[in-house]
Amino acid sequence: MTTDSLFDRLKHPNPHLREQAMLEIAESRDENTISRLISILDEQDTTYRRAAVKTLGVIGVDAVPSVVESLLHSDNVTVRGSAAKALAQIAVNYPNIPFPDAGLQGLKAAINDPNPVVHIASVMALGQMGSAAFDILLESLKTTDNVAVQVAIVNALASVGDPKCTEVLTTFANDESVDSYVRESATSALSRLDLVINYNRS
């Protein structure tokens, strides 16, 4: 199949054909593949856009620099949100490879994005990075005054599954000066975190 027909296949209604195309694009990629996938991140067609995000996830760490560039510098909100999701996919697909610092720092900067779609997606992506993201999430939790971001960070900390998160969440759950919604979220995140930590031990 030609590259063009593989890219067309990313729009296909059949998920199996889309998955196959993603793998083939990742395997046969050249110097234009990553930029071509990134150019799809502003497509109206959600299926096509999500397939591009997932394909970047399959490509992995090599895609990080270009994806971070889009996350921080695109004028298009959809592109920035999709870029954060692509970074999350890379982390999920390659859990045993240390996530590049450029990716972590890019997501950290994107937590301050004015658009909620982007900053929530960035926080959720950091939640997929495990312990590597702990310091960034903690610092952002202490410095942001955006309640929605705080709640997203509290939930992301529950996904990180690091025992250090228990301490942070306990502090937040009991801090009277913290917004009540954030405190409630910290309390429910604590019970989820216990499950994650116990699951990781078993």
Which tokens go with 96? 């045993």
Q: What is the mean pLDDT of residues 16-43?
A: 96
Q: What is the mean pLDDT of residues 100-115?
A: 96
Could you give the CA distance from residue 138 to residue 165 in angstroms, rounded to a whole number?
Answer: 9
Domains delineated in the chain: 1-112 (1.25.10.10), 129-202 (1.25.10)
pLDDT at 116 over 80: yes
Output the average pLDDT for the chain.
94
DSSP alpha helices (H): ranges in the chain?
A: 3-9, 15-27, 33-39, 46-59, 64-73, 77-93, 101-110, 116-127, 134-143, 147-160, 163-174, 180-201
pLDDT, tens digit, 9 for 90 and up, residues 39-95: 999 999 999 999 999 999 999 999 999 999 999 999 999 999 999 999 999 999 999
Q: What is the mean pLDDT of residues 109-138?
A: 94
Provide the percentage of residues in the chain whose pLDDT is more than 90.
87
Task: Please check whether residue 135 is in contact with residue 162, taking contact to mean a CB–CB distance below 8 angstroms.
Answer: no
